[in-house]
Chains A and B, each alone.
Chain A
């Protein structure tokens, strides 16, 4: 079954290669057929069919190794890459922007392998742009910076003028065109860099720590611009951040990188619910049967984040001050360095991080019944 599927996939790819020289209309048609066949093969990818797919990516530089088994980007979706300094966020974004070539693995854009083909790489680069942390502005005026990408695409000067004007307005710097770029404040410079990227109307916008070196007021403006353009243009965004609040505020998917390894895509222990306040007690109901006690000043709909390392797993109910305790079952155990990441079913799926030693000591096993406990103060509400 699987083999059959693969040969079908390859067939349609060959066809794609053959018809490359033909008219755009025809290749559009071809694309349609391809996504139909991948839909038939992978029904799970139906709701957000990815246009960018990374598989088995390995990136090595100066003893550092980045490894990303799979990363898919769907149109109009936002992804946050979180992780401590040195975890490989920048390397990953630079690889996505093709500033660094992957040592192994492949990058597919709209069903075509991009890496290693100069023509495809250039086509891909025209659809994807990266705004670096502490962005570099050319030593020219703001207008020429923002118009640069259009000019290298051979866009007419009239159009460049109109679009630059609009782009500067969109980032709230309408009269900045003739200013020297190197005299701007950091926040202003970052906004100019954002305008310079957004003017290209990219399919995928990559942002490396977009608000890291920027004052609070500029950071707010930058966040607003990001969420506004995403909803307006159906552009996909991948950005890195230290700031988990920002990650969850702006995106639907949070991916974490640690020591160059990309962990499970998707949010870990992130839940959404309504705050139910009774006297002296605040709870957020996740399902009709599961409610988590929290302390918060927020009301209405909130996000909850339960750090996996704060979740205690035991064979028997714990006699402790922790207010959240649930019976559950271990559904998964995955080694993650010296630790083991447990998937727990307590009515919702919860992830816990424990050491290999304690996993062995208390005799846990997949399928086994356990008690899951965490303190009210461990639950982050935003």
Chain B
């Protein structure tokens, strides 16, 4: 049983001394997740806006699909993107498998439905009169749309924070697409999985503690932003 105590002691030491390997892993995680979240926002926000504010055939179906995709299993995303990017796959020539880019693609796919679904609910929560008021004050239809999005800004920011929280804590796609290569694609989650199976509890616990802090932090920010939206 002493391995737990030893592991904890080692974890504290690594964190206090700001171990370089550990920091490198954290940096990869944060970078990959940030870029993936940014990409997801660029794609997910317009989708959410379109579904929330326009009437088109299949609109409800689109909303349902987005909500279903919230439960997308990460290993399935890993599997699909892997088969696309592997040497024999249709995008094999890009040589992206086991690179940070591959993880980013997988995680962005995971995050897009989150950004879209939360954006839809944020925009639906905006008073209809916001857009009308903008129009009566001389806004063009595009400016009125911008005014509505601004009214939903806290909800939309919350959507982005939530998807960051989801992708940074995700292990399946990161493992399958990144391959846990030290210094390149080793993220907090893949390192924890690997170090634990090797019996290196110190580093695993240290990373686990940092990951918890980041995930909780993201959630606190999320709750705070949601509070503002109301």
Contact = CB atoms under 8 A, between A and B. Distances in A.
A348 to B, nearest CB: 40
Interface string B111-147: 0000000000000000101101111111110010001
A139 B135 CA distance: 16
A94 B131 CA distance: 13
B135 A138 contact: no
B140 to A, nearest CB: 6
A122 B141 CA distance: 9
B151 A130 contact: no
A200 B137 CA distance: 8
Interface stretch (A66-74, A148-156, A358-366): A148-156
A233 B74 CA distance: 64
A152 B137 CA distance: 8
Given A97-B136, A148-B137, A132 B129 contact: yes
Contacts of A203: none
Chain B contact surface mostly: helix
A128 to B, nearest CB: 8
Q: Which 6 A-B pairs have the closest CB atoms?
A: A149-B137, A136-B129, A130-B136, A152-B139, A136-B133, A126-B138
A132 B138 contact: no
Interface string A27-70: 00000000000000000000000000000000000000000000
A122 B133 contact: no
B150 interface: yes
Interface of A: 94, 97-99, 122, 125-126, 128-132, 135-136, 138-140, 148-149, 152-153, 196-197, 200
Given A136-B127, A138-B150, A138-B151, A152 B138 contact: yes
B133 A125 contact: no
A125 B127 contact: no
A108 to B, nearest CB: 20
A152 B129 contact: no
A136 B150 CA distance: 14
Nearest to A118: B141
- Size range of the interface on B? 10 to 19
Interface of B: 127, 129-130, 132-140, 143, 147, 150-151
Contact of A125 (B129, B136, B150, B151): B136
Contact of B135 (A125, A135, A140, A196): A125
A109 to B, nearest CB: 14
A129 B127 CA distance: 19
B137 A99 contact: no
Contacts of A130: 136
A98 B138 CA distance: 11
Nearest to A196: B137
Given A138-B150, A138-B151, A152-B140, A99 B130 contact: no
B140 A122 contact: yes
Nearest to A135: B133
Contacts of B150: 138, 140
Contacts of B129: 132, 136
A94 B129 CA distance: 12
Given A126-B138, A136-B132, A148-B147, 6 more contacts: A125-B136, A129-B136, A132-B132, A148-B139, A152-B137, A197-B136
Nearest to B147: A138
Contacts of A122: 140
Nearest to A99: B132
Contacts of A128: 136
A135 B129 CA distance: 8
A197 to B, nearest CB: 8
Contacts of A139: 151
Contacts of B132: 94, 99, 132, 136
Nearest to A193: B133
Nearest to B127: A136
Nearest to B152: A139
A135 B133 CA distance: 8
Given A132-B129, A138-B151, A152 B136 contact: no
A126 B132 CA distance: 14
6 contacts: A97-B136, A131-B136, A138-B150, A148-B134, A152-B134, A197-B136
Contacts of A149: 137-139
Contacts of B127: 136
A149 B147 CA distance: 11
Contacts of B136: 97, 99, 125, 128-132, 197
A138 B138 contact: no
Contacts of A200: 137-138
A195 B101 CA distance: 52
A136 B135 CA distance: 12
Contact of A132 (B133, B139, B147): B133
A140 B228 CA distance: 12
Contacts of B138: 125-126, 129, 149, 152-153, 200
A139 B151 CA distance: 6
A129 B150 CA distance: 21
Contact of B130 (A129, A138, A153, A196): A138
Nearest to B139: A152
Contacts of B137: 129, 148-149, 152, 196-197, 200
A100 B129 CA distance: 13
Contacts of B130: 136, 138
A149 B139 CA distance: 7
B226 to A, nearest CB: 14
Contacts of B133: 132, 135-136, 138
